[in-house]
Amino acid sequence: MDNKTILKQLKLQAALMELHEENAFKIRGYQNAIYNLDKSDISLGALSLKELEGLDGVGKSIAATINEINLTGSSEALSQYLDETPQGIVELLDIKGIGPKKIKVLWKELGIESGHELKEAANSGLVAKLKGFGEKTQTTLLKALEFMEANANKLHYAEAEKLSQEIIEVLEKLFPGQKISETGELRRQMEIIDTVSLLLASADFDAAEEVLDGSEDFDQDLKTSGPVTWRGSFRESKVPILINFCEPDRFVETLFSSTGSIAHLSAKVSEKDSLKNLAIGGSFENEEAIYAAAGMDYVLPELREGTFELEAAKNKSLPVLAEMSDLKGILHNHSTYSDGKHTLRQMAEYCKELGYEYLGICDHSKSAFYANGLDEDRLVEQHAEIDKLNEELAPFKIFKGIESDILYDGKLDYDDDVLASFDFIVSSVHSVLNMNRQKATQRLLTAIENPYTTILGHPTGRLLLRRAGYPIDHKAVIDHCAKHGVIIEINANPWRLDLDWRWVRYAIDQGVKLSINPDAHEMNGYHHMKYGLLAGRKGGLTANMTFNAMGKDALASFFEARKEKAAAHA
- Is 489 in contact with 426 (CB distance < 8 Å)? yes
- How is 137-199 classified by DSSP, letter by letter? HHHHHHHHHHHHHHTTT-EEHHHHHHHHHHHHHHHHHHSTT--EEE-HHHHTT-SEESSEEEE
Name the residue ranges covered by the structural domains of the chain. Answer: 3-150, 153-259, 261-318, 326-569
The string of pLDDT tens digits covering residues 131-188 is: 889 898 888 888 888 888 888 889 999 999 999 999 999 999 999 999 999 999 999 9
Architecture of domain 326-569: Alpha-Beta Barrel (3.20)
For residue 185, CA distances in Å to 181, 237, 242, 262, 409 come to: 12, 18, 12, 11, 39
- Is 549 in contact with 543 (CB distance < 8 Å)? yes
For residue 110, CA distances in Å to 104, 105, 127, 273 come to: 10, 8, 8, 59
Q: Where are the beta strands (DSSP E) in 420-463?
A: 424-428, 455-456
pLDDT band for 433, please (50, 70, 90 cuts): confident
CA distance 88 to 478: 42
Q: What is the DSSP letter of 500?
A: -
Q: Which CATH number does the domain 153-259 belong to among 3.40.50.300, 3.30.460.10, 3.40.50.1370, 3.40.50.970?
A: 3.30.460.10
Identify the H or E element spanning 556: helix 552-569
The string of pLDDT tens digits covering residues 60-85 is: 889 999 999 999 988 999 999 999 99
- Cα dihedral angle (331, 332, 333, 336), rounded to 10 degrees? 130
The string of pLDDT tens digits covering residues 249-301 is: 999 999 999 999 999 999 998 888 899 999 987 789 999 999 999 999 999 99
Q: Which fold has domain 3-150?
A: DNA polymerase; domain 1 (1.10.150)
Q: Which fold has domain 261-318?
A: Beta Polymerase; domain 3 (3.30.210)
Number of Cβ atoms within 10 Å of the Cβ of 24: 10
pLDDT at residue 98, as a whole number: 82
Q: What are phi and psi of 101, to 5 degrees?
A: -65, -45
- Residue 539 three-state SS: coil
Mean pLDDT of the region 446-463: 96
Mean pLDDT of the region 305-319: 96
Whether pLDDT at 95 is above 70: yes
The string of pLDDT tens digits covering residues 109-119 is: 999 998 889 98
Cis ω on the peptide bond leading into residue 176 (within 30° of 0)?
no
Mean pLDDT of the region 370-389: 95
pLDDT band for 444, please (50, 70, 90 cuts): very high
CA distance 242 to 231: 5
CA distance 336 to 495: 22
CA distance 488 to 567: 22
pLDDT band for 524, please (50, 70, 90 cuts): very high
pLDDT at residue 254, as a whole number: 96
pLDDT at residue 570, as a whole number: 66
pLDDT at residue 550, as a whole number: 98
Q: Of all residues in the chain, what percent carry a pLDDT higher than 70?
A: 100
Burial profile 507-537: b = 16 or more Cβ within 10 angstroms, e = fewer: bbeeebbbbbbbbbbbbebbebbbbbbbbbb
pLDDT averaged over every residue in the chain: 94
Task: Identify the CA nearest to 124 among candidates 107, 98, 142.
Answer: 142
